[in-house]
Amino acid sequence: MDLSSHEREVTRVATTIRVQAGRGGPVRIDKGGVSHFVPVPGDPREHAAAIDASRFRRVLAIDPERRICVAEPGVTFAELVPRTLEHGLVPAVVPELEDISLGGAVAGCSIESSSYRYGGFHDGCLEYEVISGDGEIVTCSAEKDPLLFDMIHGSYGTLGVLSRITFKLVQAKRFVRMQYRHFDGFDAFHAAMAERCRVGDFEFIDGIVHGPRSFVLCLGAFVDEAPFTSNYRWLDVYYKSTLGRTEDYLTTPDYFFRYDAECHWLSRTVPGLETRPVRWLVGRHVLGSRNLIRWSKRLDRVLGMKQRPDVVCDVFVPQRNFSAFYEWYARDFDFWPLWVVPYRMPRPYPWIRESHAKHRDELWIDCAVYGKPNDDPLVDGSEVLEQKTYELGGVKTLISRNHYSENRFWEIYDRERYEAAKRRLDPHGVFPGLYEKCHRVRKS
d(Cα 169, Cα 5) in Å, to the nearest integer?
Answer: 24
Strands (E), 64-123: 68-71, 89-91
Q: What 3-state class would DSSP assign to 9?
A: helix
Whether 39 shows a pLDDT value over 60: the answer reads no
Tell me: the pLDDT tens digits for 127-137?
A: 999 999 999 99
Q: What 3-state class would DSSP assign to 335?
A: coil
* Amino acid 443: pLDDT: 41
Residue type, 60: L
d(Cα 375, Cα 367) in Å, to the nearest integer?
Answer: 21
* Amino acid 393: pLDDT: 93
Whether 97 shows a pLDDT value over 50: the answer reads yes
- CATH number for the domain whose boundaries are 4-171: 3.30.465.10
b or e along 101-126 (b: 16 or more beta carbons within 10 Å of the residue's beta carbon)?
bbbbbbbbbbbbbbbbbbbbbbbbbe
Closest CA to 289 of 246, 257, 245, 251: 257
DSSP string covering 416-443, please? HHHHHHHHHH-TT-SSPPHHHHHS----
Whether 296 shows a pLDDT value over 80: the answer reads no
- Average pLDDT on 279-285 reads 90
Tell me: the pLDDT tens digits for 346-380?
A: 878 899 998 887 656 689 999 999 999 998 989 99
Whether 26 shows a pLDDT value over 90: the answer reads no
Whether 444 shows a pLDDT value over 50: the answer reads no
Say what angle helices 276-286 and 289-298 make with each other, to 10 degrees.
80
Region of 104 (left: φ > 0; alpha: ψ -120 to 50; beta: rest) is alpha
Whether 313 shows a pLDDT value over 70: the answer reads yes
Which pTM value belongs to this model?
0.92
CA-based end-to-end distance of the chain: 51
Yes or no: say if 140 and 130 are a contact pair by the CB < 8 Å rule: yes
Neighbours of 83 (CB within 10 A): 15
Boundaries of every domain in the chain: 4-171
Tell me: the pLDDT tens digits for 392-435?
A: 999 999 988 899 999 999 999 999 999 999 999 999 999 999 99
Yes or no: say if 192 and 201 are a contact pair by the CB < 8 Å rule: no
Please give the helix or strand (H or E) that residue 342 lies within, else none.
strand 338-344
Tell me: the pLDDT tens digits for 217-265?
A: 999 999 999 999 999 999 999 999 999 999 999 999 999 999 999 999 9
Going by pLDDT thresholds of 50, 70 and 90, the confidence category of residue 192 is very high
